[in-house]
């Protein structure tokens, strides 16, 4: 674990590379304060020892870095690009055995902003692999320099989902058993990726190429319109919507009241009643709406006194109960 204050920290790059090269171990660098606008190591250089960079998380970055290294040791993965942009990337985990394996696409949260990346769901992906699922832990464009928000982030998660058909050419995947799971802001992207774009949205979105049997939202911001109205997360949904924030009709097309699913798609929602970031009422609203519609099987797991981030901890009771349901539903 390489711990740095910020990008102005005095380090000799050449000397650092020489020190890291003999180490036959994965290395994670953690910038405590920096938001990543400056880097001192070129990630594109062949043989670079740095596997992951984390920044803007203060002291929490140390914990995230240690967790990431542990999961790298226990569960190897391969990284693939599902598109042409730097954010079009994902980590692919494959269980031991012959397969074919059911596959889960994993989408991280962070209010769609820079600072939190797919490493926050690395433990969940690793645990799914332990349980016999292939896991595809994806990145996407976020609000800010990477150019995310609507419609770019929406397009990215569909592209990432479609890439499973490419991965299946060289890996034993069961494309008739696909789940999409997302945490927090990724919970919204999971309910979006598993839906069927229509009403004009299909004209600007990639065409879905693989069926989704199960959608899982963990403490999810499941409804953009409601999140926009509430202003939670320092107006996170408003910033994510960009110009669509002022278009009420478009906002509603991107929200649960308008999203529809194939008849065989099941939806599993999980939320802690003491969530300090995303109100549990969003998941309750989503459950009630889907039940009233009566088109899909929907289930809400409520965890009394649980908060927001327990679902990203593979050792937590909350995650293990969700994982049990995934095993039964997929």
Same domain, 34 and 170: no
List the 2-4 sheet strands across, edge first. Answer: 2-4, 27-31, 50-55
Q: In what order do the strands lie in the sheet with 89-93?
A: 78-81, 89-93, 134-138, 101-107, 173-183, 214-218, 266-272, 298-303
Question: Are 168 and 250 members of one domain?
Answer: yes
pLDDT at 40: 40
Q: Which residues pair with 134 in a beta bridge?
A: 103
The pTM of the full predicted model, rounded to 2 decimals, is 0.84
C-alpha torsion 203→205→206→211, nearest 10: -100
Q: How far apart are CA 279 and CA 267, in angstroms?
A: 19
Q: Do 117 and 256 reside in the same domain of the chain?
A: yes
Q: Collapsing DSSP states into helix, strand and coil, what is residue 245?
A: helix
In this structure, are strands 134-138 and 89-93 parallel, antiparallel, or unpaired? Answer: antiparallel
**Residue 32 pLDDT more than 70?**
no
Whether residue 83 is found in the same domain as residue 3: no
**Over 90: is that where the pLDDT of 117 sits?**
no
Q: How many domains does the chain have?
A: 2
How confident is the model at residue 69, as a pLDDT?
65
Please tell me whether residues 107 and 50 are part of one structural domain: no
Cis peptide preceding 25, ω within 30 of 0:
no
**pLDDT category, 46, cuts 50, 70, 90?**
very low
Compute how many other C-beta atoms are within 10 angstroms of the C-beta atom of residue 264: 12
- The domain that contains 135 carries what CATH number? 3.40.50.1820
User: Residue 278 pLDDT > 60, yes or no?
Assistant: yes
Statement to judge: residues 132 and 56 lie in one domain: no
pLDDT category at 34 given cuts 50, 70, 90 is low
Q: What is the pLDDT of residue 54?
A: 61
One domain for residues 68 and 92: no
Same domain, 135 and 259: yes
pLDDT of residue 254: 93
Mind listing the pLDDT tens digit for each residue in 216-272?
A: 999 999 999 999 998 888 899 999 999 999 999 999 999 998 999 999 999 999 999
Q: What pLDDT is recorded for position 164? A: 99
Q: pLDDT tens digit string along 282-294? A: 999 999 999 999 9
Do 140 and 58 fall into the same domain?
no
Burial class (CB in 10 A: 0-12, 13-18, 19+), 263: exposed
In tens, the pLDDT along 179-211 reads 999 999 999 999 999 998 877 888 999 999 999
70 and 138 in a single domain? The answer is no
Determine the pLDDT at residue 136.
Answer: 98
Residue 37 has pLDDT above 90, yes or no: no
pLDDT in tens, 52-109: 666 555 556 566 666 666 666 677 889 999 999 999 999 999 999 999 999 999 999 9
Q: Point out the domain boundary residue: 53, 74, 95.
A: 74
* Domain boundaries, position 127: 76-329
- What's the pLDDT at 159? 98
The verdict on 60 and 129 lying in the same domain is: no
pLDDT in tens, 128-166: 999 999 999 999 999 988 899 999 999 999 999 999 999
Q: Does residue 101 share a domain with residue 186? A: yes
Q: Which of 54, 74, 94 is the last residue of a domain?
A: 74
Looking at 55, 74, 93, the residue that finishes a domain is 74
User: What's the pLDDT score for residue 38?
Assistant: 43
Q: For residue 42, what pLDDT is reported?
A: 39
Q: How far is CA 201 from the centre of its chain?
A: 22
């Amino acid at each position: 674990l390489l711990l740095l204050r910020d990008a102005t920290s005095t380090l000799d790059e050449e000397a650092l590379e020489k020190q890291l090269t003999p180490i036959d171990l994965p290395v994670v660098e953690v910038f405590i304060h920096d938001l990543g606008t400056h880097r001192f190591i070129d990630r594109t250089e062949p043989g670079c020892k740095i596997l992951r960079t984390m920044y803007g998380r203060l002291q929490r970055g140390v914990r995230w870095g240690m967790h990431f290294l542990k999961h790298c040791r226990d569960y190897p993965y391969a990284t693939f690009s599902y598109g042409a942009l730097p954010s079009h990337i994902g980590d692919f985990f494959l269980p031991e055995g012959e397969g074919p394996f059911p596959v889960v696409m994993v989408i991280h949260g962070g209010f769609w902003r820079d600072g939190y990346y797919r490493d926050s769901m690395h433990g969940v992906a690793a645990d799914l692999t332990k349980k016999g699922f292939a896991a595809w832990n994806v990145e996407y464009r976020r609000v800010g320099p990477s150019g995310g928000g609507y419609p770019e982030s929406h397009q990215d998660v569909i592209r990432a989902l479609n890439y499973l058909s490419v991965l299946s050419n060289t890996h034993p995947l069961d494309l008739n058993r696909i789940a999409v799971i997302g945490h927090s802001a990724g919970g919204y992207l999971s309910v979006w990726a598993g839906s069927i774009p229509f009403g004009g949205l299909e004209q600007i979105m990639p065409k879905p190429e693989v069926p989704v049997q199960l959608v899982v939202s963990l403490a999810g911001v499941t409804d953009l319109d409601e999140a926009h109205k509430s202003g939670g997360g320092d107006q996170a949904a408003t910033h994510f919507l960009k110009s669509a924030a002022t278009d009420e009709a478009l906002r509603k097309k991107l929200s649960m009241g308008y999203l529809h699913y194939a008849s065989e798609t099941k939806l599993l929602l999980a939320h802690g009643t003491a969530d300090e970031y995303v109100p549990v009422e969003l998941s309750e609203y989503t459950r009630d709406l889907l039940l009233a519609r009566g088109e899909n099987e929907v289930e809400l797991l409520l965890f009394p006194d649980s908060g927001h981030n327990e679902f990203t901890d593979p050792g937590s009771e909350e995650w293990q109960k969700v994982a049990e349901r995934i095993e039964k539903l997929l």
